[in-house]
Amino acid sequence: MQDFIGWSASIILLATIVSQIVRQWKEGTSKGVSRWLFIGQMAASAAFTVYSMMVHNVVFVVTNALMLLSAIVGLAIVTYHRRRGPATRQD
């Protein structure tokens, strides 16, 4: 039961983060999104991944490694949007 709760929480957390990153990409803008959000997330997720390995918790290792990956993708999108300049959408 413990693993079920852990994996369920992991899926919920990752789904919310991934949906935000996908939305950011699809809308073509990162307006109002701070790079520091992703930089902080990367640092915390990297440290939590190492800690999770040290305490041998597979749920946290996987979750934090995927959160680290999502932070890298999120930062890449913010950087891309900032370099590209204002989005020009044609609806």
CA distance 18 to 71: 10
Condensed to tens digits (0 to 9), the pLDDT of residues 32-82 reads 888 999 999 999 999 999 999 999 999 999 999 999 999 999 999 999 999
Confidence of residue 31 (pLDDT cuts 50, 70, 90): confident
Query: b vs e for 75-91, b when ≥16 Cβ sit within 10 Å of the residue's Cβ?
Result: bebbeebeeeeeeeeee
pLDDT attached to residue 13:
93
The pLDDT value recorded for residue 86 is: 66
* Domains, the chain: 2-84 (1.20.1280.290)
Read off the pLDDT of each residue in 5-27 and give the average, rounded to a whole number: 93
pLDDT at residue 89 greater than cutoff 70: no
Judged by DSSP in three states, 51 sits in helix
- Distance in angstroms (rounded) separating the CA atoms of residues 42 and 64: 9
* Residue 90 predicted with pLDDT over 70: no
